[in-house]
């Protein structure tokens, strides 16, 4: 089955700096890669996603890049704000429509 690895496990940045989280996946048949933000005690919420027919997608301060050849994808957050502090998860959807998640990155944005 699909295996998704995520790094780093914790990330601390100063407000206004950029944050980058990286993920790799194992199943070359996976074609959909969402990113989720989880706040304490709540369910994860989608922040951005990318499909395998594109290499990059941007939504305001958030961008995601995908390299299908290398089987890795990354989340980029620019101009970080304290409210960006949360746990972020990458995921890959396999060709059976099952989602496999990375182990999460705890992002701390210091004011």
Binding stretches for other proteins (CB under 8 A): 1, 6, 31-32, 34, 36, 41-46, 49, 51, 89, 91, 93, 96-104
Nearer to other proteins among residue 98 and residue 110 (C-beta): 98
Give the shortest CB-67-to-other proteins separation in angstroms.
18
Print burial letters for 14-48: b (CB count within 10 Å at least 16), e (below 16): eeeeebbbbbbbebeebbebbbbbeeeeeebeebb
Give the shortest CB-50-to-other proteins separation in angstroms.
10
Query: In angstroms, rounded to a whole number, what is the distance separating the alpha carbons of residues 89 and 16?
Result: 21
Query: In angstroms, rounded to a whole number, what is the distance separating the alpha carbons of residues 86 and 98?
Result: 24
Query: In angstroms, rounded to a whole number, what is the distance separating the alpha carbons of residues 30 and 68?
Result: 9
Nearer to other proteins among residue 18 and residue 45 (C-beta): 45
Give the shortest CB-87-to-other proteins separation in angstroms.
9
Nearer to other proteins among residue 41 and residue 111 (C-beta): 41
> 3-state class of 56 per DSSP?
strand
Residue at token pair 């951005």: 48
Nearer to other proteins among residue 14 and residue 53 (C-beta): 53
Give the shortest CB-16-to-other proteins separation in angstroms.
27
């Amino acid at each position: 089955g699909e295996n998704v690895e995520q790094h780093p496990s914790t990330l601390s940045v100063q407000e206004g700096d950029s944050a980058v989280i990286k993920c790799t996946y194992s199943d070359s048949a996976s074609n959909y890669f969402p990113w989720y933000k989880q706040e304490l005690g709540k369910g994860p919420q989608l922040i951005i996603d990318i499909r395998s027919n594109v290499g990059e997608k941007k939504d305001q301060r958030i961008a995601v890049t995908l390299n299908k050849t290398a089987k890795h994808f990354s989340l980029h957050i620019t101009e970080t704000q304290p409210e960006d502090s949360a746990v972020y998860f990458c995921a890959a959807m396999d060709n059976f429509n099952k989602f496999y998640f990375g182990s999460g990155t705890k992002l701390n944005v210091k004011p």
